[in-house]
Amino acid sequence: MNKPLDNTLLGRPDPLAGLRDAHVRWQHDYADQIGTEREAVNRSGVAIKPLYTALDWDARTHAGLSAMPGQPPYTRGIYATMHRGRTWTQRQLIGLGTPQDYNARLLEVMAQGADAVSLIPCNSVFRGVDMDESHIELLGTCGTVVNTAEHMDRALQGVDLARTSCAMNDPSPFTLLAFMLAAARKRGTDWRAITGTSNQSDYLSHYVANHMFFRIALPGARRILGDHIAFCQQQVPKWNPMSVVGQHMQQAGATPAQAVAFTIATAIQNAQDCIERGMAPDDFLPRFTFFFDISISFFEEIAKFRAARRVWAAVARERLGARDPRSWRFKFHAQTSGIDLTRQQPLNNIARVTVQAIAGILGGLQSLHTDAYDEALSCPSEQGARIAVATQNILREEAHLTDVIDPLGGSYYVESLTDRMQAEIERVLAQVDDAGGMYRAVEAGLVQRMIGESARQFQRRIDSGEQTVVGVNAYRTEEDASARPINERPDRAAMQAHIDAFKAYKAGRSQGEVLRALDALARAAGDPKDNVFGRVIEAAQAGCTHGEIVATLRRELGFGHVQAMV
């Protein structure tokens, strides 16, 4: 038996001697009963053993154990009270049909306990195309058709913008937020009271992994983001203008560790851009939030979030020079991953979402979206949305998952895995640093190649059957068609009425005001001293449509083309 040299040399008894002996006995028993096994590896490439003990902890783990929630490096949680003080925000993504349809569903969901608003616009809005230039068949099927400030006002009817947190899923140039601020101004709501997040402000993640949202060429998007952060910091100080998104990358195939590394690298890039504009880190870092996918790799996700908090605390403090502890806190919203859901045997997805949600909660998220079970089939149904919200309520109030802060802290496995995930995250972060930072790395295609390789590896594991997907490559059944929900489509007549009203609205506007506002917007794009986002809001208030605003900026700053590589 090996005894540690240091202690016996010094004549002290080895405190772990008993453990070591017992562990060796266990290893023999295990090997006898199981024989040889192939080493398991999690999605991030970290080797996973059948058993963890205190022997798996090194000096770093021991040091980490003294971290308390609310104290740097925040491994156990960014707040002292975590979910006991304030439960996670139940924010469900909703989007469909006309603004009236959206409003009806929103009020329903809030009555069931959701306490925050999120709006998913129609795909036409994502592409920057107004409804009178779209095929009507494609309007409102997966999101709400909002093209003007007036539409936004209607969609948020009955919501007190000073009291309810709103998340706008709208990429650069953040027209939907502009519409919301215009509506707030009209209602007399003070912008300084408004809370929420620009959920899709991470243009780099769009370029890399979600082309749907990439509207304006990279340099232009970079400029607009800087303007957006600066404007909000001044005039909408409780708004989170920066949501750094790891979800897109993970859904595109990045491993969980890569997703965190790329996300933190992006945050560093955006922070450096702000510092270059003359802002101090503590001016804007407290309003940086993160947005992650939660896969079904249960323990890996929990460790990933714990490690992310540690890495970010060090980055904010040491690399970015932030002094305010609020800048060091890794706040994140998480969504259960749609990639793990299947079309086959869709009700199984309820179980999957539950497991993913638990991982996110135990990982210490601040805000959670649970997918509906039919998310893989099409846009979620009412029933699916209801079950998704109920799942969260059950986890919190029946399973009491919030009663103990970081309950897996101290677990031999989870602490050891947190260390390994941190090492992997830092390794990938160093690669991005070597490439000159995230913007350069993305421009050069390095990030895309790394994600592509991870995606191919994962697909090989599924194709070979090494990774089971129940109902797809194992445990298959004859599909019962009655279990498939009926797809909701927006009412065609109502949508046509919406389009007709929109056309009438455009005809009835003050054309002079509209043109002046668009002209000012265009000039702002060419003037680095002007604030493009401020001009977007003015354009919204002047009655400009979303399509007009986006078209103007695409013309001035470049259309967001992406490389489609096979």
We find the least distance from the C-beta atom of residue 139 to another protein, in angstroms, to be 9
**What would the DSSP string read from start to end of 325-374?**
HHHH---EEEEE-GGG--SSSTTHHHHHHHHHHHHHHHTT-SEEEPPPTT
Q: Which of 314, 420, 403, 406 is nearest to 363 (CA)?
A: 406
Output 123 or 349, the one with its CB closest to another protein.
123
88 binds another protein (CB under 8 A): no
Rank residues 176 and 285 by Cβ distance to another protein and give the closer one.
176
**Which residues make Cβ contacts (< 8 Å) with residue 231, sequence separation at least 6?**
241, 531, 533, 534
Answer for the pair 182, 540: CB distance below 8 angstroms, yes or no. Answer: yes
Residue 264 CB, nearest approach to another protein (Å)? 24
Binding mask 439-478 for another protein (x = CB under 8 A): ----------------x----------------x------
Angle between helices 99-111 and 492-508 (to 10 degrees): 120
Q: CA–CA separation, 156 vs 127, rounded Å?
A: 22
β 332-336/242-245 pair status: unpaired
Residues 333-362 that bind another protein (CB under 8 A): 343-344
Smallest CA-to-CA distance from 294 within 202, 385, 360 is with 360
Contact mark string toward another protein, 358..397, x via CB under 8 A: -------------------xxx------------------
Pick the piece of the chain touching another protein (CB under 8 A) from 153-161, 168-176, 418-426, 484-492. Answer: 484-492
Q: Which residues, in sequence order, are CB contacts of 5 under 8 Å at separation 6+?
A: none
Nearest of 219, 366, 365, 201 to residue 284 by alpha carbon:
201
Helix ranges (H only) for 73-217 are 82-85, 99-111, 123-126, 149-155, 175-187, 203-209
* Closest of 392, 490, 513 to residue 123, by C-alpha: 490
Across-strand partners of 167? 118, 197
Q: How far is the CB of 104 from another protein (least distance, A)?
A: 21
CB of 377 to another protein, least distance (A): 6
Residue with tokens 């003080």: 85
Q: Which stretch binds another protein (CB under 8 A): 132-140, 194-202, 399-407, 541-549?
A: 132-140
Give the nearer residue to another protein in terms of CB position, either 134 or 197. Answer: 134
Q: Closest separation between CB of residue 167 and another protein, Å?
A: 20
Write down the least CB distance from residue 211 to another protein, Å: 5
Size of the site for another protein (CB under 8 A): 35
* Closest distance of CB 138 from another protein, Å: 5
Interface of this chain with another protein, residues 193 to 232, rule: CB under 8 A:
210-213
The only residue of 44, 90, 118, 134 in contact with another protein, by rule CB under 8 A = 134
* 123 near another protein (CB under 8 A): yes
**Is the CB of residue 91 less than 8 Å from the CB of residue 117?**
yes
Total residues found in the chain within this entry: 566
Pick from 42, 44, 103, 141 the residue near another protein by CB under 8 A: 141
The 3-state secondary structure of 232-285, one letter per residue: HHHHCCCEECEEEECHHHHHHCCCHHHHHHHHHHHHHHHHHHHHHCCCCHHHHH
* Shortest Å distance, C-beta 546 to another protein: 14
- On whether the CB atoms of residues 243 and 197 are closer than 8 A, the answer is yes
- Near another protein by CB under 8 A, which window of 120-128, 169-177, 262-270, 299-307? 120-128
Contact 405, 77 (CB under 8 A): yes
Which of 138, 159, 280, 347 contacts another protein by CB under 8 A?
Answer: 138
What's the N-to-C CA distance of the chain in angstroms? 55
Nearer to another protein, 124 or 269 (CB): 124
DSSP secondary-structure letter at 474? B
- Residue 453: which residues within 8 A CB-CB, separation 6 or more? none
CB of 381 to another protein, least distance (A): 12
Binding mask 259-298 for another protein (x = CB under 8 A): ----------------------------------------
Residue from 149, 252, 387, 495 in contact with another protein (CB under 8 A):
252
Of 130-138, 182-190, 237-245, 511-519, which segment contacts another protein by CB under 8 A? 130-138
- Among residues 189, 270, 290, 184, which one has the least CA distance to residue 227? 270
Q: Which is nearer to another protein, 413 or 559 (CB)?
A: 559
Q: Tell me how far the alpha carbon of residue 511 is from its chain's centroid.
A: 39
From 108-116, 124-132, 172-180, 404-412, give the range in contact with another protein by CB under 8 A: 124-132
Span near another protein by CB under 8 A; candidates 55-63, 134-142, 239-247, 313-321: 134-142
- How far apart CA 125 and CA 131 sit, in angstroms, is 8
489 binds another protein per the rule CB under 8 A: yes
Helices 348-362 and 298-314, axial angle in degrees (round to 10) = 30
Q: Which residues bind another protein (CB under 8 A)?
A: 122-124, 126-127, 129, 134-135, 137-138, 141-142, 210-213, 252, 343-344, 377-379, 455, 472, 481, 484, 487, 489, 559, 561-566
